[in-house]
Amino acid sequence: MPVNLPLPQAENLKSVAGVELGWAEAGIRKANRKDVLVVRVAEGSTVAGVFTSNRFCAAPVQVCREHLAAGKGIRALVVNTGNANAGTGEPGLASARASCDALAAQLGIAAEQVLPFSTGVILEPLPVDRLVAGLPAAIANAKPDNWLAAAEAIMTTDTQPKAASRTVQIDGKTVTLSGISKGAGMIRPNMATMLGFIAMDAAVAQPVLQALVSYAADHSFNSITIDGDTSTNDSFVLIATGKSGAVVERAEGPAFEALRDAVTALAQELAQMIVRDGEGATKLMTIRVEGGKDVAECRQIAYAVAHSPLVKTAFYASDPNLGRILAAVGYAGVDDLDVGRVNLWLDDVWVARDGGRNPDYREEDGQRVMKQAEITVRIALGRGKAEATVWTCDLSHDYVSINADYRS
Amino acid sequence: MPVNLPLPQAENLKSVAGVELGWAEAGIRKANRKDVLVVRVAEGSTVAGVFTSNRFCAAPVQVCREHLAAGKGIRALVVNTGNANAGTGEPGLASARASCDALAAQLGIAAEQVLPFSTGVILEPLPVDRLVAGLPAAIANAKPDNWLAAAEAIMTTDTQPKAASRTVQIDGKTVTLSGISKGAGMIRPNMATMLGFIAMDAAVAQPVLQALVSYAADHSFNSITIDGDTSTNDSFVLIATGKSGAVVERAEGPAFEALRDAVTALAQELAQMIVRDGEGATKLMTIRVEGGKDVAECRQIAYAVAHSPLVKTAFYASDPNLGRILAAVGYAGVDDLDVGRVNLWLDDVWVARDGGRNPDYREEDGQRVMKQAEITVRIALGRGKAEATVWTCDLSHDYVSINADYRS
């Protein structure tokens, strides 16, 4: 059961002029499920992406980097689920290239104008023949209002599709943004998450789009974690078709800021959907660390808390065993941390004051907050003005079941 | 069910001349269980310890450091379970000092000759009155052959006591070593684990003993992890009474090396007992990383694998979903790792060759090894001669149950 995550409704998802989405049931791993997505992008669009920092990055991630660097103008994306095409060596690279070649031939574009993406099991050969056989169907049913079906086509252990839209006014023109994401396990993105796609109909110059995608990733997908496992396939791609007539040419100024904030808000919504649907999640926790010397140490402490199995199981149990949070703060690796200045709140409840239990803290107050489905843990370090926020979920029996049974 | 961990038998545990152990049921947290341990140490003994690097180190850890630094000669240890006396601020320090004062008064020694230790719930006040009230009983039943009862007296979520003995010949004299340990959760020691005590009847000069305890900790307690949570209370203490007549005065030479190897082997045995009895553990995994540039990067990768919830749940399920191991190697943070040189074995089964699936690898071979209770994961990096080994356990439903129910 995802945490406060209503099913997206097709009528709430807006088409983005210049983008068409089509899917197929290619039988990559299992029969009778959408497992291939093709996204067609109008000529003249700009596309930018950020990708996993995992050294075992998947073959499609390597090909994405090459094709973006080629600078020929991206015209299509092809995504498969059921197989990550990671840890697959040279044959894996050949498969990723073959899928681009096949799609490019059918669309009359160059292979370097295609970006490939894969998600699923690692260390198994990609059945590229089945993927290629599915392409004609996906091309045939591609249309602008297919965002919900597209979100369904990239699911793996997700319990529901993740998609959202919004609009923003830029220089008097309405810009429409729509995005989809997927992921429920192996989630601790460190560039972006597997997989997030956002398209919009503003015209955005390539270097500006790259700045936008990095900023949005840092404030959304790069600030979530489910299990601390950074995937081999994380990819977050931003598409700008320009069809709205709004133009953003520089990475500064009011137009840029308005678009940046809209993209970031949509990316945050999509990223939080991933946490809400985290494997076995019953609670969404916002870990906010403030009063740090720099953002890096705030993130370091937030992640230590967010990754602690003891903290996560206490939240699962709604048990205010909050010393576990202090323990995680203490081992996070900030060597000169003065714990006598650390304060801790659970929502509005002041739990620890100046490094020790707040004399006014009452167990029943902690218990009340712990029973909620959404909880903010606020940690004040008292050593500076930097802050950072990380979103995570609890660790439940279902997490173990899902991951012990994943392939079986 | 611990992994291949037979119950220690009292008759196999050897007394160490100069050490007496006594226990009490003080009702620190629950009635009718051993929860206080007093260890008396003969005059003239040397004692050295290593302690947690957690910035939220517990009050007793702070007092231990002070008392060891005072250099008056340690004569007694007092340990309580049921409460960690951590995150307790100044009142916690006062309680730790009060327990030393009370024991010192009853034994006719100085308070600075007592080392205090606590383990249990964090952020709750230590009921020091109950602890002090239990001391006379513990003093009264102290005797040299109480090692098994002492191991029982320091248990928390441990399912069974952990103790072992061995002997070593030093300069023609038989030196006897006995030790106890505890811990099953919040285990990723980063100096030592909560709690390990080893006593021996060699005479060891103080600086030599400090060298010994650091070496042994690095190769035992500092190389295990259960959940990646470094405790606030980790302590590992080495006691040398000198009663055997064997003398080790310098931190080099054959006598030192023989004693070092004996202490380290005993510490490894005690540390592995903790992993075998890890919360919910069904398997013991040895993660060996070799061919690294330095030990630090080997440990970094070993811990990334050992902490990955996805790796741990796959082992729980006996599912050779081994791409998860490569993913963890890839995100461990060794930024210039050439994954094309990485090889992976599961016991004798060669799974990944030069960064991809070994063409000769058969799923049924991986399956066969995964069903074992003890498994060695060997990762060769192909970039140097350094190596490191970390021991860990799997992540099961019972881990979640134990930690979701711990305080309830």
Over the stretch B207-238, which tens digit does the pLDDT of each residue have? 899 898 888 888 888 888 888 888 888 889 89
Contacts of B306 in chain A (CB under 8 A): none
Neighbours of B252 (CB within 10 A): 10
pLDDT beyond 90 at B391: yes
In chain A, what percentage of residues exceed pLDDT 70?
98
Contacts of B186 in chain A (CB under 8 A): 310, 324, 327
Residue A108: C-alpha distances to residues A102, A105, A112 (Å)? 10, 5, 12
Closest by CA position to A179, among listed A62, A265, A277, A87: A265
Angle between helices B323-331 and B295-307 (to 10 degrees): 130
Q: Match 């989630």 to its residue by tokens.
A: A187
Residue A210 in tokens: 């790259």
CATH of domain A10-276: 3.60.70.12
* Positive or negative: CA dihedral B52, B56, B57, B58: negative
Shortest alpha-carbon distance between residue A401 and chain B (Å): 8
Query: Distance (Å, rounded) from C-alpha B351 to C-alpha B345?
Result: 5
- Helix ranges (DSSP H) in B249-342: 253-276, 295-307, 309-316, 323-331
Pick the residue with more confidence: A55 or A150? A150
- A-to-B residue pairs, Cβ atoms closer than 8 angstroms: 225
CATH fold, domain A284-405, is Ubiquitin-like (UB roll) (3.10.20)
pLDDT score for A193: 64
Q: Is A371 exposed, middle or buried (0-12, 13-18, 19+ CB in 10 A)?
A: exposed
Shortest alpha-carbon distance between residue B174 and chain A (Å): 40
Reading across the β-sheet that carries B46-51, which strands appear in turn? B46-51, B235-240, B194-200, B173-181, B162-170
pLDDT beyond 50 at A408: no
What are B264-293's pLDDT values in tens digits?
A: 999 889 989 988 998 899 999 999 999 999
Phi and psi at A239, nearest 5°, equal: -120, 130
A297 is known to lie in a ligand binding site = no
Query: Distance (Å, rounded) from C-alpha B270 to C-alpha A408?
Result: 36
Query: Distance (Å, rounded) from C-alpha A124 to C-alpha B87?
Result: 48
Please state which of the ranges A322-326, B146-150, B362-366, B401-405 shows the lowest mean pLDDT: B401-405
> Would you place residue A2 in the very low, low, confident or very high pLDDT band (cuts 50, 70, 90)?
confident
| Residues whose CB falls within 8 Å of the CB of residue B397, separated by 6 or more in sequence, listed in order | A397, A400, A401, B280
Per-position DSSP letters for B269-290, written without gaps between them: HHHHHHHHT-TT---EEEEEEE
Closest residue of B to A125, CA-based?
B357
From the list B54, B309, B405, the residue facing A229 with the nearest CB is B309
Neighbours of A218 (CB within 10 A): 17
Contacts of B407 in chain A (CB under 8 A): 319, 321
Amino acid code (one letter) for A138 = A
From the list B57, B356, B396, the residue facing A89 with the nearest CB is B356
- Testing the interface with A: which of B52, B313, B344, B398 to mutate, by most A Cβ within 10 A? B313
For residue B118, the surrounding DSSP H or E stretch is: strand B114-121
Asked if B323 and A406 come within 8 Å (Cβ–Cβ), the reply is: no
Reading across the β-sheet that carries A349-353, which strands appear in turn? A356-357, A349-353, A343-346, A374-380, A284-292, A386-393
Asked if A326 and B232 come within 8 Å (Cβ–Cβ), the reply is: yes
CB hemisphere CA count around A1 (13 angstroms): 6
For residue B94, the surrounding DSSP H or E stretch is: helix B89-107
Radius of gyration of chain A, Cα coordinates, nearest whole angstrom: 22
A279 is known to lie in a ligand binding site = yes
Shortest alpha-carbon distance between residue B325 and chain A (Å): 10
Domain coordinates in residue numbering, chain B: 10-276, 284-405
Residue A72 in tokens: 């020929």
At B255, is the secondary structure helix, strand, or coil? helix
Residue B312: C-alpha distances to residues A32, A317, B273, B315, B361 (Å)? 31, 21, 18, 5, 21
Amino acid code (one letter) for A408 = S
B389 is known to lie in a ligand binding site = no
Query: Stretch A91-119: mean pLDDT, rounded?
Result: 97
Amino acid code (one letter) for A36 = V
What are A288-339's pLDDT values in tens digits?
A: 999 999 999 999 999 999 999 999 999 999 999 999 999 999 999 998 999 9
Neighbours of B183 (CB within 10 A): 32
What are B29-52's pLDDT values in tens digits?
A: 999 999 999 999 999 999 999 998
Query: Stretch A97-117: mean pLDDT, rounded?
Result: 98
Asked if B400 and A396 come within 8 Å (Cβ–Cβ), the reply is: yes
pLDDT beyond 90 at B395: yes
Query: Distance (Å, rounded) from C-alpha A257 to C-alpha B9?
Result: 70
- Testing the interface with B: which of A29, A56, A187 to mutate, by most B Cβ within 10 A? A56
Asked if A56 and B339 come within 8 Å (Cβ–Cβ), the reply is: yes
A403 is known to lie in a ligand binding site = yes
Q: What mean pLDDT value characterizes chain B?
A: 92
- Testing the interface with B: which of A311, A321, A408 to mutate, by most B Cβ within 10 A? A321
| Residues whose CB falls within 8 Å of the CB of residue B292, separated by 6 or more in sequence, listed in order | B298, B301, B381, B383, B384, B385, B386, B387, B388
Cis peptide before A195 (omega within 30 of 0): yes
Closest by CA position to A165, among listed A280, A357, A352, A14: A14
pLDDT beyond 90 at B176: yes
Opening angle at CA B160, ends B154 and B165, nearest 5: 75
What are A197-220's pLDDT values in tens digits?
A: 899 999 999 989 989 888 888 888
pLDDT beyond 50 at B408: no
Contacts of B310 in chain A (CB under 8 A): 185-186, 227, 229, 403
- Testing the interface with B: which of A119, A187, A313, A383 to mutate, by most B Cβ within 10 A? A313
Neighbours of B134 (CB within 10 A): 24
Closest by CA position to A393, among listed A267, A278, A293, A261: A278
Q: Is-contact A182 A162, C-beta < 8 A?
A: yes
Asked if B314 and A356 come within 8 Å (Cβ–Cβ), the reply is: no
3-state secondary structure chain A: CCCCCCCCCHHHCCCCCCEEEEEECCCCCCCCCCCEEEEEECCCCEEEEEECCCCCCCHHHHHHHHHHHHCCCCCEEEEEEEECCCCCHHHHHHHHHHHHHHHHHHHCCCHHHEEEEEEEECCCCCCHHHHHHHHHHHHHCCECCCHHHHHHHCCCCCCCCEEEEEEEEECCEEEEEEEEECCCCCCCCCCCCEEEEEEECCEECHHHHHHHHHHHHHCCHHHECCCCCCCCCCEEEEEECCCCCCEECCCCHHHHHHHHHHHHHHHHHHHHHHHHCCCCCCCEEEEEEEEECCHHHHHHHHHHHHHCHHHHHHHHCCCCCCHHHHHHHHHCCCCCCCHHHCEEEECCEEEEECCEECCCCCHHHHHHHHCCCEEEEEEECCCCCEEEEEEEECCCHHHHHHHHHCCC
At B325, is the secondary structure helix, strand, or coil? helix
From the list B53, B122, B400, the residue facing A395 with the nearest CB is B400
Amino acid code (one letter) for A402 = I
Q: Is-contact A303 A394, C-beta < 8 A?
A: no
Asked if A310 and B227 come within 8 Å (Cβ–Cβ), the reply is: yes
Please state which of the ranges A191-195, A246-250, B126-130, B214-218 shows the lowest mean pLDDT: A191-195
From the list A229, A330, A342, the residue facing B232 with the nearest CB is A330
Asked if B89 and A404 come within 8 Å (Cβ–Cβ), the reply is: no
pLDDT beyond 80 at A191: no
Amino acid code (one letter) for B78 = V
Query: Distance (Å, rounded) from C-alpha A101 to C-alpha A79?
Result: 14
pLDDT beyond 60 at A407: no
From the list A229, A317, A399, the residue facing B327 with the nearest CB is A229
pLDDT beyond 90 at B404: no
In chain B, what percentage of residues exceed pLDDT 90?
74
Q: Is-contact A281 A5, C-beta < 8 A?
A: no
Query: Stretch A71-99: mean pLDDT, rounded?
Result: 94
Closest residue of B to A330, CA-based?
B55
B283 is known to lie in a ligand binding site = no
Query: Distance (Å, rounded) from C-alpha B242 to C-alpha B259?
Result: 13
From the list A122, A317, A339, the residue facing B323 with the nearest CB is A122
Asked if A317 and B186 come within 8 Å (Cβ–Cβ), the reply is: no
Shortest alpha-carbon distance between residue A322 and chain B (Å): 7
Closest residue of B to A191, CA-based?
B331
Radius of gyration of chain B, Cα coordinates, nearest whole angstrom: 22
Residue A186 in tokens: 């192996």
Phi and psi at A136, nearest 5°, equal: -55, -40
pLDDT beyond 50 at A356: yes
Residue A191 in tokens: 């560039």
Closest residue of B to A83, CA-based?
B323
pLDDT beyond 90 at A195: no
Residue A64 in tokens: 């994405």
Active site (annotated) includes residue B193: yes
> Ranked by mean pLDDT, which of A43-57, A260-274, B373-387 comes out on top?
B373-387
CA dihedral B95, B97, B99, B102 (to 10 degrees): -130
What ipTM was assigned to the predicted interfaces of this complex? 0.82
Shortest alpha-carbon distance between residue B360 and chain A (Å): 13
Contacts of B323 in chain A (CB under 8 A): 84, 86-87, 121-124, 232
Contacts of A54 in chain B (CB under 8 A): 327, 330-331
Reading across the β-sheet that carries B114-121, which strands appear in turn? B19-24, B36-41, B76-83, B114-121
Contacts of A90 in chain B (CB under 8 A): 356
pLDDT score for A234: 86
Query: Distance (Å, rounded) from C-alpha A222 to C-alpha A274?
Result: 12
Closest by CA position to A278, among listed A131, A406, A398: A398
What are B182-207's pLDDT values in tens digits?
A: 988 887 876 556 788 899 999 999 98
Query: Distance (Å, rounded) from C-alpha A192 to C-alpha A222?
Result: 6
Catalytically annotated residue among A88, A193, A241, A392: A193
Asked if B317 and A92 come within 8 Å (Cβ–Cβ), the reply is: no
> Would you place residue A25 in the very low, low, confident or very high pLDDT band (cuts 50, 70, 90)?
very high
| Residues whose CB falls within 8 Å of the CB of residue A151, separated by 6 or more in sequence, listed in order | A8, A161, A162, A163, A180, A181, A182
What are B285-325's pLDDT values in tens digits?
A: 999 999 999 999 999 999 999 999 999 999 999 999 999 99
Neighbours of B53 (CB within 10 A): 17
Query: Distance (Å, rounded) from C-alpha B214 to C-alpha B212?
Result: 6
At B390, is the secondary structure helix, strand, or coil? strand
Cis peptide before B195 (omega within 30 of 0): yes
Query: Stretch A34-50: mean pLDDT, rounded?
Result: 95
At B141, is the secondary structure helix, strand, or coil? coil
